[in-house]
Amino acid sequence: MNAERTTLETRAAKHAALSDPARLYITDLLSLGDLSPSELQARLGMPSNLLAHHLRTLESAGLLARSRSEADRRRSYLRLTPGALDGLVPGAVGHAHRVVFVCTANSARSQLAVALWRRASAIPVTSAGTHPAERVDPGALAAARRHGIPLRANRPRRLRDVTTDDDLVITVCDRAHEELGEVGGLHWSVPDPVAAGTDDAFDTTVATLTNRVGSLAPRLAAS
């Protein structure tokens, strides 16, 4: 009975936190990708103190988490916690002609995201980098093998050589997102596993991208 009561209290706290239209809209936005507080403020057009109140309420209910940007350390990103919207998942997003995953080097995160997307959706997908490396990182290839992901070791490509106006661009790298700005479309703040260089770092990246892809893919239809 105690465990059941705890579950009910958690659900009630989530419903209470989402009862305000502004907080519900914040949650809808973050269900698609990560945003900094300043980006959220621009989207909502509300004073910073009011936004801070809404964010504290959502964090207290366990719906939000923060992480520090790997590019500009003064900036933080907000994201939904895993399972935050279980039983409360928003509906369909819309249509996409093609999905393009982008990171700085196009050597790990964006390549893994493409492989995971191909397993989850029939919508065409590719990847690119703002400053592409010479090759796919060996750590990404090893992680794909460990997790049974059919990763094609395509040579990293530059973003401007890949994208078209119809693409849904998803940055999976803080540096790429902050370099591209609004051109970056959706953003998933995924730490760079290449910087750590460990199996654990790459495995965590795979787990994070698996959750992100699994949440978005069913909500997009091909255009």
Q: Is the pLDDT of residue 88 over 80?
A: no
CATH number, residue 39: 1.10.10.10
Domain boundary among 80, 115, 141: 80
Structure tokens at 177: 């997102």
One domain for residues 63 and 158: no
Nearest to 63 by CA among 102, 20, 114: 20
One domain for residues 73 and 100: no
The whole-number average pLDDT for the span 21-26 is 95
Domain contains 85: no
Burial of residue 12 (number of CB atoms within 10 Å: 0-12, 13-18, 19+): exposed
Domain boundary among 80, 103, 125: 80
Q: Which domain holds residue 116?
A: 94-222
The whole-number average pLDDT for the span 126-143 is 97
pLDDT for res 5: 67
Domain contains 89: no
One domain for residues 35 and 142: no
Domain contains 86: no
Q: State the average pLDDT for the chain.
A: 92
With a CB cutoff of 8 Å and minimum separation 6, the contacts of 1 are: none
Q: Please tell me whether the overall predicted TM-score, pTM, comes out greater than 0.85 for this model.
A: no
pLDDT for res 60: 92
CATH number, residue 154: 3.40.50.2300
Residue-wise pLDDT for 143-197, tens only, equals 999 999 999 878 999 999 999 999 999 999 999 999 998 776 899 999 999 999 9
Domain boundary among 33, 54, 80: 80
One domain for residues 174 and 99: yes
One domain for residues 130 and 162: yes
Residue-wise pLDDT for 6-22, tens only, equals 677 878 888 899 999 99
Domain contains 62: yes
Q: Is the pLDDT of residue 4 over 70?
A: no
One domain for residues 28 and 104: no
Domain contains 203: yes
Residues 77 and 36: beta-carbon distance below 8 Å: yes
Domain contains 87: no
Grade residue 85 by pLDDT with cuts at 50, 70 and 90: confident
Alpha carbon distances (Å) from 194 to 97, 154, 167, 187, 204: 30, 17, 27, 19, 12
Q: Is the pLDDT of residue 69 over 80?
A: yes
Structure tokens at 31: 């269900």
Q: Show the beta-strand stretches assigned E in 35-97.
A: 64-68, 76-80, 94-96
Q: How many domains does the chain have?
A: 2
Q: Is the pLDDT of residue 96 over 80?
A: yes
CA dihedral over 173, 176, 177, 182, signed as positive or negative: negative
One domain for residues 76 and 135: no
